[in-house]
Structure 1
Amino acid sequence: MKIQDLHSAFLANPSISTDTRKIKENDIFFALKGENFNGNTYAKKALDSGASLVIIDEEKYFIDERTILVDDVLTALQQLANFHRKQSKARVISLTGSNGKTTTKELINVVLSTSYKTIATKGNLNNHIGVPLTLLTIKPDTEIAIVEMGANHLKEIEFLCKIAEPDFGYITNFGKAHLEGFGGVEGVIKGKSELYNYLTNNNKSIFLNADDPIQLEKLSSYTKKYGFSTINPKYYHIELMNAQPFVNLMVEKVEINTNLIGAYNFTNCCAAVIIGKYFNIEVPSIKLALENYTPDNNRSQLINNKSHYIILDAYNANPSSMKVAIENFNSLEKTNKILILGDMFELGNSAKEEHQAIVDLTEKLNFETVILVGENFHKTSANSQQMKSFNELKAFLKTNPIKTNSTILIKGSRGMALERVLEII
């Protein structure tokens, strides 16, 4: 089947499923493969569950005219998404970066949706499957699509750009994330900059943090750029008022009081402001959108219960985000500060060095208590409590309960699932 014909079928039933457990009536089921599963084997189940079509790439699973055989299901999904994007009048904003992608995407979306019909990546579906699925949610009346792009190795952002063909782009930052796949910080910068390369090569517009020397240098000669800065008069001025604990910023003499914890969220807010301004949204509307946004999904969530003041930032972690979270936590005007930190993953040969650097930082800042969890933190030289696993942490906290009225930062990589600490404390 030609991609045009598949697209016509999609327009008749514009809902995609890749999981038969979540299938809805008239969904088109794409039988994707993974390391431990073969979606082709679920073709009949998908049809029995109400799918209008199933897309397979193994002929032995063909059932009837509702079954479409292609060379490769994933490639067909990506080609369909690109074709759909080309047919749409929506403008596409893509963003990537080491830290803050998902929060920034959410902030951009709440600002732009005050004046435009928007769609945005759900959660962090930002890879070679998530980006196509996001693009396929573009509706006929969609005016702006905000597409998050994640990567853990070189050429991945370049590939995602070929699918999404963004009109605009923004990179949150270049940090120590996925060092194993990128081969070090220079690899991270090169990999994330693939978004810049696509945009500049195609004469598209770029939003930038002009206080970031890497972004400023890479875009020094490019003219279609729109940036924000706290110090550079050439760019749109935004001022950080404070972050005790919530980020307050000043935009055109209007103070915006957000529900976002940590000075590290300041630039995420700034990106939403400058993009909103570019799309002619007035500051009062930007203010209302940012002030009404409340983070969730374990990202810098404030939990103020009767016993403790907790900052839950357990969605993910890398050396850069861990460092700024700890430094921000240290700056809070609170007492009895306790850190519960989990391992950072995908660091490769840098794991030992980066975990020790975090330990050294915590000891330099002299917190009340530091609890380190995971195999990597357990191997460090530390004066802190060290646990190999969450089960050890659970046993420790049951016999050594945290004293009342403590201020607690919980942060670790997704695989550590440290939000489970809440059930104990």
Structure 2
Amino acid sequence: MIATEAKTLAEACGGEVVAGDPARVAETVSTDTRTLEPKACWVALKGDRFDANAFAGQAAAAGATVLVVEKLDGPVPEGTTVIVVKDGLLALQKLAHWHRMRLKLEVVGITGSNGKTSTKDFTRTVLGTQFETMATRGNFNNHIGVPLTLLSIEAGHQAAVVEMGMNHAGEIAPLCQIARPRIGIITNIGTAHIEYLGSREGIAEEKGALARALPEDGALLVPAGCDFADYFKTRTHARVIPVGNCRGVVRAENLRQDGMRSQFTLVVEGRPVGEVNLPVIGRHMVKNALLAAGCGWFLGVPFDKICQGLSGTMLTSGRLRRYETGGVTVFDDTYNANPESMTAAIDTLAEVPVANGGRRFVVLGRMGELGEHAAEAHPRIGRLAAERGLQVVSVGEGAEGISRGAGRGEHFPDVDDAVAGLAGRFRPGDVVLFKASRGAALERVMNRVFPPEN
């Protein structure tokens, strides 16, 4: 955030300065007393199990100069200005929208059932070859994370890539109202969060809030193979740019994968424009890269820089990251999972070449937020993995159906049992994929069985 006086922040968030110097300046915004920087504006949030208003003194001691609270218990900390608001979360969101609107920059909004973070990584790198670009850090993609992401934009930034996640209906539209993107990317419509949204049609309606929020001079990028692509076209005023493998306005042709990288010719409007050497495998990853390429093309990034950016992208940890240890190739895709991303990862592993008698294993945990669909989805994933010739291991409560569906799969009830059962099982030449929903914390198994060497 640009350095701003407390009185201006109060106006922006709908609050009132009740103590301290109205001219006192804050340079950043934080909601966490553990990580805030000196001269921060600290916003107290309340949840079902906590009330940060009680920690205003700690925020001041950590360096906050402006405190945004619903109430202040105790004396005003020395050297601070206090702003009182009715609702801390609403105040944070108002601050974010105010800050975004005072900046002249391109905002790219990304949503979808899966692939958001890798698409964000590709888009950030592509735009970064031409513009000073910032992007969502970690998983800051919800009603709190998006405002904090926007508030971290500085005056020198020319583009922002904002990931937008959701769990329930009605959550994407407010994020769009805060961020005001001109470019939107919808990675896909799967079954993630179907427990709360009821159907893929309901999920498409919620994700389509991004399409509806775009202006006429904007662009919406969607996979050409998405069965909701036509639906999105009817829901947006922006230009729709379909992308895909061998289809779409922006597409990949001559795709080759060697187990480590994906190489393809980037084709735009029927014309080959360059060669891309992605540092990751998987057709779904190629699709995510093409969405980023389309965004760069729309914003005028030269084709050679688009190819350069894609080829040099470093993906966020847990997104099909590949490493080797003891001669075994490990794919870390532990960040999250749903039936579509599980299917994509399994198909990818099945295509990875092995030598010297190497075997392919999948170590899988439960997929969350599927509700009544979980009973069918887990066995289906196990069957698919077995059909692809993979050796199947499931770990943890809720994942039993995966190994049961595989027929010859093996299940471990918890992390310790899995570590004990898998230690020493793998030999040089084997390839192992770990994947599960975030709540399963499957990386605890992976990191103990295969400690990264770097």
| TM-score category (smaller protein) | over 0.9
SS at structure 2 position matched to 1:212: coil
Matching of residue 218 in structure 1 with residue 232 in structure 2: yes
Unaligned runs of 5+ in 1: none
Q: Deviations over 1:93-128 (max 9, x none)?
A: 111001111111111111111111222111220000
Say which is worse superposed, 268-277 or 180-189, in terms of deviation: 180-189
Structure 1: how far apart are the matches of 2:388 and 2:305? 40
CA drift at 1:162: 1.2
Letter of the 1:371 partner, please give it. Answer: V
1:15 aligned onto 2:38: no
CA contact (8 A) 1:261 1:302 kept: no
**1:419 is the counterpart of 2:433:** no
Residues 319 and 358 in structure 1, CA contact (< 8 A), matched pair in contact too: yes
* RMSD between aligned residues: 2.3
SS in 1 for 2:243: strand
Give the equivalent residue in structure 1 for 2:421: 396
CA contact under 8 A between 2:121 and 2:316: conserved in structure 1? no
Q: Describe the SS at the equivalent of 2:154.
A: coil
Q: Would you say the 8 A contact 1:29–1:46 is kept in 2? A: yes
Cα distance, 1:360–1:43 mapped onto 2, change above 3 Å: same
The one-character-per-residue Cα deviations of 1:289-342 (angstroms, maximum 9, x if unpaired) are 122222241211111223301111111111110011101111222231111111
The 8 Å contact of residues 3 and 79 in structure 1, kept in 2 or not, is answered as no
Q: Is the 8 A contact 1:77 1:132 kept in 2?
A: yes
Query: 2: CA distance between counterparts of 1:39 and 1:103?
Result: 33
Structure 1 length-normalised TM: 0.92
- So what's the TM-score if we normalise by structure 2? 0.87
211-220 vs 8-17, greater mean Cα deviation:
8-17
The residue number in structure 1 matching 2:392 is 370
What's 2:359 paired with? 336
> Between Structure 1 and Structure 2, which shows a larger proportion of helix residues?
1
**How far apart in 1 are the matches of 2:35 and 2:367?**
31
Instruction: Report if the CA contact (8 A) 1:93-1:147 is conserved.
Output: yes
Match of 2:190 in 1: 175
Whether 1:120 and 2:135 are equivalent positions in the alignment is yes
> Does structure 2 retain, via aligned residues, the 8 Å contact 1:243–1:263?
no
The answer to whether the 8 A contact 2:334-2:442 is kept is yes
Structure 1 counterpart of 2:64: 51
* 2:41 maps to 1:28: yes
CA–CA distance in 2 between the matches of 1:141 and 1:99?
Answer: 31
Secondary structure of the 1:52 match is strand
SS of the residue corresponding to residue 213 of structure 1 reads coil
Identity across matched positions, percent: 32
User: What code does the residue aligned with 1:175 have?
Assistant: G
Structure 2: distance between partners of 1:62 and 1:358: 58
Q: Map residues 236-315 of structure 1 onto 2, 5 A cutoff.
A: 236-239=250-253, 241-245=255-259, 246-251=261-266, 252-315=272-335
Q: Report the 3-state secondary structure (helix = DSSP H, G, I; strand = E; otherwise coil) of the residue aligned with 1:304.
A: strand
Structure-2 residue corresponding to 1:77: 92
Which residue does the alignment assign to 2:207? 192
Name 2:434's counterpart in structure 1.
Answer: 410
8 Å Cα contact 2:339-2:367 kept in structure 1: yes
Cα–Cα, structure 1 residues 232 and 402, in superposed 2: closer, same or farther, change >3 Å? Answer: closer
Instruction: Tell me how far 1:43 sits from its aligned partner.
Output: 0.2
Counterpart amino acid of residue 396 in structure 2 = G
Distance 1:416 1:319, change over 3 A: same
Cα 1:154–1:3, aligned 2, differ >3 Å: closer, same or farther? farther
Contact 1:3–1:83 (Cα < 8 Å) also in 2: no
Change (3 A) 1:322 1:108: same
One-letter amino acid of the structure 2 residue matched with residue 402 of structure 1: F
Answer yes or no: is the 8 Å Cα contact 1:10–1:28 preserved in 2: no
**Which amino acid in 2 is paired with 1:179?**
I
Provide the aligned length of Structure 1 versus Structure 2: 421
Q: Is the 8 A contact 1:122 1:134 kept in 2?
A: yes
- Of 278-287 and 105-114, the range deviating more from structure 2: 278-287
Q: Which residue of 2 aligns with 1:348?
A: 371
Distance in 1, Cα, partners of 2:306 & 2:296: 7
Structure-1 separation of matches of 2:251 and 2:371: 39
Deviation of 1:277 (Å): 1.3
Distance in 2 of aligned mates of 1:289 and 1:223: 25
Name which of structure 1's ranges 212-221 and 6-15 shifts more when overlaid on structure 2.
6-15
User: Which blocks of at least 5 consecutive residues in structure 2 are unaligned?
Assistant: 1-5, 14-21, 267-271
Task: Confirm whether residue 66 of structure 1 aligns to residue 90 of structure 2.
Answer: no
Distance 1:52 1:41 in 2: 16
Which amino acid is 2:309 matched to?
A
Amino acid at match of 1:18: T
Distance 1:10 1:314, change over 3 A: farther
Contact 1:95–1:170 (CA<8 Å) still a contact in 2?
yes
* SS in structure 2 at match of 1:94: strand
Equivalent residue of 1:298, what SS? coil
Output aligned runs, 1:87-166, within 5 Å.
Answer: 87-166=102-181
Match of 2:51 among 31, 38, 42: 38
Whole-angstrom distance in 2 between the partners of 1:54 and 1:2: 12
Q: Counterpart of 1:316?
A: 336
* Residues 3 and 80, structure 1, Cα contact 8 Å, conserved in 2: no
Is the alpha carbon distance of 1:275 and 1:342 closer, same or farther for their aligned partners in structure 2, counting shifts above 3 Å?
Answer: same
Secondary structure of the 1:260 match is coil
